[in-house]
Chain A
Amino acid sequence: MHDESITRLKRRAAGFLAAAICAGLLGVAGAAGSDAALDARVMKISEELRCLVCQNQSIAESNADLAQDLRREVREMLAAGKTEADVREFMVERYGDFVLYDPPVKRSTLLLWIGPGLAAVIALGGLWWQLARRRRTRAGDEADAPDEAALAQARALLDAKDEQ
């Protein structure tokens, strides 16, 4: 009888513990849920921002001290209800358009945007011009080709030489 009551007590304690653990886990999961959403937003915008210390990485990829600080800044701004446009503006105010991997089109970035297209147009234009000229030259060569009479005359001259 005594043993039985201890067992029952143990079982009840185990049940209570299990419930507590479940509640704890649920609580953690709930918190992690909202954090994960914030994390995702932080990562998304961090991927659009260049790390100024290691210039070929975004601040999402970089583990430089500054990148970590900027991620913290982004996280705090988003957590405080700021929009992604606010975050982008914050960064540009401090580090310039250079910080954006997708900079806006304006006078200082115009060459960046149209430069490659312009170079391609010039290169293709040059190629087209060259090809056209070559075609014209070849057509000219064919017009200059010797006619039958001249060929016969030349052959006669050569044959005469052979006989000598």
Chain B
Amino acid sequence: MKAKALIPLGIFVALVALLGIGLTLNPREIPSPLIDKPAPAFRLPQLQKPEALSLDDMRGQVWLLNVWASWCVACREEHETLVDFSRRGVVPLIGLNYKDKQPDALAWLSQHGDPYSTSIVDADGRVGIDYGVYGVPETFLIDRNGRIRYKHIGPLSPESVEKELMPRIRELKGA
């Protein structure tokens, strides 16, 4: 009899746990179907240089692709982290300047500092669509063979760099 009386309580606790987990999830973080798939090819002009850069130019290196724009408020938030990260010189950090105007983008970099090895210009957002970008900033970790190994959605923080990016980068560089 006593055990039976505990059944509603058990159901209630299970429901609270389930809904509690639901509350901690971020509905904006949609798992990318591109993880462990070859990164979509691109060939785009660079923001500060006349030559184009393509995906194949990055083959053989572990690198980060960071999607940013001067109109993106959250990009300001992660900028400091990116500047610190690039100073450490761990892997090349390529910026994908997403749907931006060139003068605005250049002004933004000169005002806040330029953490990127180079930035490529995706003026009409097509490469962004190929990469499944839906909210700037987003950061992709791409391995030596041009496969996407990890995607971070939203601004990076020093913690997310240490806990999410660095272990994976070390693993990919070691392999």
With contacts A53-B134, A65-B99, A66-B134 taken as known, whether A73 is within 8 angstroms of B129 at the C-beta atoms is yes
**Complex contacts, B125 vs chain A, CB 8 Å:** 65-66, 69
Complex Cα distance A147/B151, Å? 78
Q: Are A52 and B129 in contact, CB atoms less than 8 angstroms apart? A: no
**Complex contacts, A73 vs chain B, CB 8 Å:** 126, 129
With contacts A70-B129, A73-B129 taken as known, whether A96 is within 8 angstroms of B31 at the C-beta atoms is yes
Residue B30 interfacial (CB < 8 Å): yes
Number of inter-chain CB pairs below 8 Å:
38
Chain B positions 103 through 137: 1 when the CB is less than 8 Å from some CB of chain A, otherwise 0? 00000000000000000000011100111101100
Q: Are B130 and A94 in contact, CB atoms less than 8 angstroms apart? A: yes
Q: Are A95 and B30 in contact, CB atoms less than 8 angstroms apart? A: yes
Query: Of residues 95 to 116 in A, which have CB atoms within 8 Å of B's CB atoms?
Result: 95-98
**Complex contacts, A95 vs chain B, CB 8 Å:** 30, 33, 132, 134
Q: Are B129 and A96 in contact, CB atoms less than 8 angstroms apart? A: no
With contacts A65-B99, A69-B129, A70-B129 taken as known, whether A96 is within 8 angstroms of B135 at the C-beta atoms is no
In the complex, the chain A residue whose C-beta lies closest to that of B135 is A53
Complex Cα distance A98/B132, Å? 12
Query: Of residues 53 to 95 in A, which have CB atoms within 8 Å of B's CB atoms?
Result: 53, 55, 65-66, 69-70, 73, 92-95
**Complex contacts, B27 vs chain A, CB 8 Å:** 55
Output the residue of B30, B34, B99, B135 with the most chain A CB within 10 A.
B30
Q: Are A94 and B135 in contact, CB atoms less than 8 angstroms apart? A: no
With contacts A69-B125, A73-B129 taken as known, whether A96 is within 8 angstroms of B33 at the C-beta atoms is yes
Q: Are A94 and B129 in contact, CB atoms less than 8 angstroms apart? A: yes
Residue B157 interfacial (CB < 8 Å): no
Residue B102 interfacial (CB < 8 Å): no
Q: Are A52 and B135 in contact, CB atoms less than 8 angstroms apart? A: yes
Chain B positions 47 through 78: 1 when the CB is less than 8 Å from some CB of chain A, otherwise 0? 00000000000000000000000000000000
**Complex contacts, B30 vs chain A, CB 8 Å:** 52, 95-96, 98
Complex Cα distance A96/B99, Å? 22
Residues of chain B touching chain A, judged by Cβ–Cβ distance below 8 Å, are 27-28, 30-34, 99, 124-126, 129-132, 134-135
List 27 A-B residue pairs with CB atoms under 8 Å apart, sorted by A's residue number.
A52-B134, A52-B135, A53-B135, A55-B27, A65-B99, A65-B125, A66-B125, A66-B134, A69-B124, A69-B125, A69-B129, A73-B126, A92-B33, A93-B33, A93-B34, A94-B33, A94-B34, A94-B130, A94-B131, A94-B132, A95-B30, A95-B134, A96-B30, A96-B31, A96-B32, A96-B33, A96-B132
| A-B CB proximity, top 3 nearest | A52-B134, A94-B132, A96-B33
